[in-house]
């Protein structure tokens, strides 16, 4: 498989999961600064112009949630997706919250142009974003088990995903000290061999250990 | 199970899936006009203050994607989630796109206050929303099979979900005639007995047949 990523983005979640699952893959870096994600070669793979993209023998996947579940299916012994339907549903509640609420809240800082055009509107979005991200942190802090993982004693696909988003909290002007369980989770994830592996090739750019 | 919904919202997807799966449940209406979703009784069930919420014997689920997969697991004979991992991953790519991009684009019309405060910013979001929704329609029109369902010959959880969002296209000022495959899918879904059932109790408020 080929794994297209950009440093420090949500593709951190996919990179960690590929390591945790122990799957052979070739990481391919895109530079957002150079606009690689909007060049024709990449748009042919991923018309959304975003990362991640996972190119498999069966085809291409471009949504973190779909990629994560697929990686889970390729490494069933790792239990990255709970076998029990209720446990899986609770995990997916977290994943969908991360995708459709928390990540979206963050995006209104750096990527407000997706939803409004005027400089004033973009400034308003940027100004509100630290509050909406802190609200999301409060929700996660209060509604995940952190025992020590999001769903309990075993890592699931929700853990690398939450970690990837929480790498942004300092630049999002959220005071992480207000969220001690998230902070501890982030440090735990950052200390895993999977994090060292993606740091080694430049996907993970921070160190929370 | 108790199913909390509000007419015309994304809870249309859950309502349809409960019908398609043939699961016993009690629908409970919330009035957004009366602010029912922000009253203490409901917030105790769903602290997000949104719909849907599905109250099961095992607990409460509040994200459409998690609810939909759980309903699928309760009716395995309906194949609402493909058994093949690659097919399931492709379906989840659509679901995550609906949740994190298309539904979010829509929300910038009626719910911009989630991400900005000024009247000018809210007006900018409202003005841009028809374009971002049309962009999402283009992506769906070009990337789903519609043969006749989103994933092919069998309905999956992606179909009621896409239908629920596409019920908004007229009020979102998107010209549905530009998207004939979406329009045909919507009419097909609206003609199913599941749609008649949720129309009967007031969840579905439109008729596209």
Query: Is residue A48 over pLDDT 90?
Result: yes
- Among chain A residues, CA nearest to B73: A85
In angstroms, the separation between the Cα of residue B5 and the nearest Cα of chain A is 17
Query: Is residue B208 over pLDDT 90?
Result: no
E-state strands within chain B: 2-5, 26-29, 53-55, 60-61
Give the residue-averaged pLDDT of B185-194.
Answer: 98
**CA A117 to each of CA A130, A182, B103, B126: distance values in angstroms, whole numbers, following the listed order:** 20, 34, 19, 11
Contact residues, chain A, for B95 at CB < 8 Å: 65-66
In angstroms, the separation between the Cα of residue B15 and the nearest Cα of chain A is 17
Do B121 and A117 make contact, defined as CB atoms within 8 angstroms? Answer: no
Contact residues, chain A, for B96 at CB < 8 Å: 63-66, 96, 99
Query: Which of A90, A121, A132 is facing B124, going by the closest CB pair?
Result: A121
Better pLDDT: A208 or B159: B159
CB A96 within 8 A of CB B99: yes
Mean pLDDT of chain B: 97
Ordered domains of chain A (ranges, CATH): 2-78 (3.40.30.10), 85-192 (1.20.1050.10)
Tokens 């992506």 locate to: B139
- Among chain B residues, CA nearest to A48: B139
In angstroms, the separation between the Cα of residue A132 and the nearest Cα of chain B is 7
Which pLDDT band, with edges at 50, 70 and 90, does A208 fall under? Answer: confident
Tokens at B128, concatenated: 């841009």
Give the residue-averaged pLDDT of B16-27.
Answer: 98
Query: Which of A66, A89, A97 is facing B70, going by the closest CB pair?
Result: A89
Do A118 and B117 make contact, defined as CB atoms within 8 angstroms? Answer: no
Question: B21: number of CA atoms within 13 Å, CB side?
Answer: 25
Query: Is residue A163 over pLDDT 80?
Result: yes
Strand partners, A109: none
Tokens 């080694």 locate to: A200
CB A206 within 8 A of CB A198: no
Do A61 and B89 make contact, defined as CB atoms within 8 angstroms? Answer: yes
Contact residues, chain B, for A131 at CB < 8 Å: none
Mean pLDDT of chain A: 97
Query: Which of B56, B100, B128 is facing A115, going by the closest CB pair?
Result: B128
Contact residues, chain A, for B106 at CB < 8 Å: none
Q: In what order do the strands lie in the sheet with B26-29?
A: B26-29, B2-5, B53-55, B60-61
Query: Is residue B182 over pLDDT 90?
Result: yes
Which pLDDT band, with edges at 50, 70 and 90, does B61 fall under? Answer: very high
Chain segment A114-139, per-residue pLDDT in tens: 999 999 999 999 999 999 999 999 99
Give the residue-averaged pLDDT of A161-165.
Answer: 98
Prediction ipTM score: 0.98
Query: Is residue A22 over pLDDT 90?
Result: yes
Chain segment A56-114, per-residue pLDDT in tens: 999 999 999 999 999 999 999 999 999 999 999 999 999 999 999 999 999 999 999 99
Q: In what order do the strands lie in the sheet with A60-61?
A: A26-29, A2-5, A53-55, A60-61
CB A162 within 8 A of CB A98: yes
């Amino acid at each position: 498989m080929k794994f297209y990523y950009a440093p420090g983005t949500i593709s951190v979640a996919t990179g960690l999961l590929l390591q945790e699952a122990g799957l052979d893959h070739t990481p391919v870096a895109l530079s957002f600064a150079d606009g690689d994600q909007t060049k024709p070669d990449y748009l042919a793979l991923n018309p959304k112009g975003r990362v991640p993209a996972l190119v498999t023998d069966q085809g291409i996947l471009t949504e973190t949630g779909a990629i994560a579940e697929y990686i889970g299916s390729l490494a069933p012994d790792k239990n990255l997706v709970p076998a029990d339907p209720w446990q899986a549903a609770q995990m997916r509640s977290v994943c969908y919250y991360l995708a459709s609420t928390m990540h979206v809240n963050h995006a209104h800082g750096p990527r407000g142009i997706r939803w409004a055009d005027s400089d004033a509107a973009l400034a308003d979005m940027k100004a509100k974003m630290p509050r909406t991200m802190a609200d999301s942190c409060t929700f996660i802090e209060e509604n995940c088990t952190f025992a020590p993982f999001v769903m309990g004693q075993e890592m699931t696909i929700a853990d690398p995903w939450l970690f990837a988003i929480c790498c942004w909290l300092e630049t999002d002007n959220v005071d992480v000290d207000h969220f001690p369980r998230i902070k501890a989770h982030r440090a735990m994830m950052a200390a895993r061999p999977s994090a060292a592996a993606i740091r080694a090739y430049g996907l993970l750019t921070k160190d929370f250990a």
